[in-house]
C-alpha cells in the first residue's frame, strides 16, 4: 500500500497500536499527525519518524481541542485523508453496581465522545476535499458483555454505531468508514486487564496477544479498495482469512 501524498491523523499515538500505526503509515509514505495527551511521548515519536510527522498534544474528550488538532494537521500538511480513532481506555473495571460514576463517565468521554469528536472535526474537511477514510479501533466487547467491563463494552458498542452512522450519512460523499476488531493486543491495556484479575480476558498469557504491528498493518490494508466490502461494518483480525489478506497469518 503506497500512501505517498496522503495524510493520516492518529489519536492515541503515543504508544501501543497508535505508535505502531504511525510508524507503519509513515513507512508507506504518508504524512502523520500524532495526537495524544502525552505531548512528550508524541514529540519523541515525531522526532523518530522525521519531517513527515507532527506531534499534536490533545485531550480528545474536549471537542475544541480535537477541532484544533485537525486544523494543526491542515496547517502542517495541507490536508487530511485518513483518520484513525485509536485512543481508548479500559478503566474503570468494576461491577456495574459498584462502579464510580465519574470514572465511568470519563471512559465514555474518551471512548465514545472522543470518536465522535474526531469524526465531527474531520468530516467537513474530508467531504470538502471529495472523500476520506475513517478507521476506528473496535472490540469484540462491542457485541457481548464482560464482567467488570460495563463501561468499556458500552463504549465499544457506541463507537461501532458511530461507524455505521458515518457510513449511512457520508458514503455517498466519498467517506469510507470501517471499524477494526483486533482481538487482544500486547499493549499496556492488557497489563491493566491482567492486574485486575476480572473476567476471562485477565487470565490470558502475554503470548496469547497479537503484536501491535499486526493491527497497524491491518489498518493500512483497510485504506485500500480490498476492504471496501466492509464499509459501515467491522473487520475482525481474529479471522484467519483477514490475517492472510493482510499478510500476518
Please, what are the domains in the chain? 7-183+211-243 (3.40.50.720)
Q: Is 152 a catalytic residue?
A: yes
pLDDT (mean) for 232-248 = 96
Q: What is the pLDDT of residue 220?
A: 98
**Chain segment 70-112, per-residue pLDDT in tens:** 999 999 999 999 999 999 999 999 999 999 999 999 999 999 9
Which residue is it, cell 495524510? 7
The pLDDT assigned to 249 comes to: 81
Task: Give the model confidence (pLDDT) of 209-234 as tens digits.
Answer: 999 999 999 999 999 999 999 999 99
Of 196, 239, 244, nearest to 90 by C-alpha is: 196
DSSP three-state, residue 152: helix
Distance CA 215, CA 110 (A): 20
Residue 39's pLDDT is what? Answer: 86
Q: Which of 63, 116, 152, 170 is catalytic?
A: 152
Give residue 57's pLDDT. Answer: 96
Residue 232 near residue 177 (C-beta atoms within 8 A): yes
pLDDT the model gives residue 78:
97
CA distance from start to end of the chain: 18
Phi then psi for residue 134, to 5 deg, are -120, 115
pLDDT > 90? residue 1: no
Lowest mean pLDDT among 47-51, 110-114, 204-208: 204-208
Q: If you ran DSSP here, which 8-state letter would residue 241 be given?
A: H
pLDDT averaged over every residue in the chain: 96
φ, ψ at 152 (rounded to 5°)? -65, -45
Amino acid at each position: 500500500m503506497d500512501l505517498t501524498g496522503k495524510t493520516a491523523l492518529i489519536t492515541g499515538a503515543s504508544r501501543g497500536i497508535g505508535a505502531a500505526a504511525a510508524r507503519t503509515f509513515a513507512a508507506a509514505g504518508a504524512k502523520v499527525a500524532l495526537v495524544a495527551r502525552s505531548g512528550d511521548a508524541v514529540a519523541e515519536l515525531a522526532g523518530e519518524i522525521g519531517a513527515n510527522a507532527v506531534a499534536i498534544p490533545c485531550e480528545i474528550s474536549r471537542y475544541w481541542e480535537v477541532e484544533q488538532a485537525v486544523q494543526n494537521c491542515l496547517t502542517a500538511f495541507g490536508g487530511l485523508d485518513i483518520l484513525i480513532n485509536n485512543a481508548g481506555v479500559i478503566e474503570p473495571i468494576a461491577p456495574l453496581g459498584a462502579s464510580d460514576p465519574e470514572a465511568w463517565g470519563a471512559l465514555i468521554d474518551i471512548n465514545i465522545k472522543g470518536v465522535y469528536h474526531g469524526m465531527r472535526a474531520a468530516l467537513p474537511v474530508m467531504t470538502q476535499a471529495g472523500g476520506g477514510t475513517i478507521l476506528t479501533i473496535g472490540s469484540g466487547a462491542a457485541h457481548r458483555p464482560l464482567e467488570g467491563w460495563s463501561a468499556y463494552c458500552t463504549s465499544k458498542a457506541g463507537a461501532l454505531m458511530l461507524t455505521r452512522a458515518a457510513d449511512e450519512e457520508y458514503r455517498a460523499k466519498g467517506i469510507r468508514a470501517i471499524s477494526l476488531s483486533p482481538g487482544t493486543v500486547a499493549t499496556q491495556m492488557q497489563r491493566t486487564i491482567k492486574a485486575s484479575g476480572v473476567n476471562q480476558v485477565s487470565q490470558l498469557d502475554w503470548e496469547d496477544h497479537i503484536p501491535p504491528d499486526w493491527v497497524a498493518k491491518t489498518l493500512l490494508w483497510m485504506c485500500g479498495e480490498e476492504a471496501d466490502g466492509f464499509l459501515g461494518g467491522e473487520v475482525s483480525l481474529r479471522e484467519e482469512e483477514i490475517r492472510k489478506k493482510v499478510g500476518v497469518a
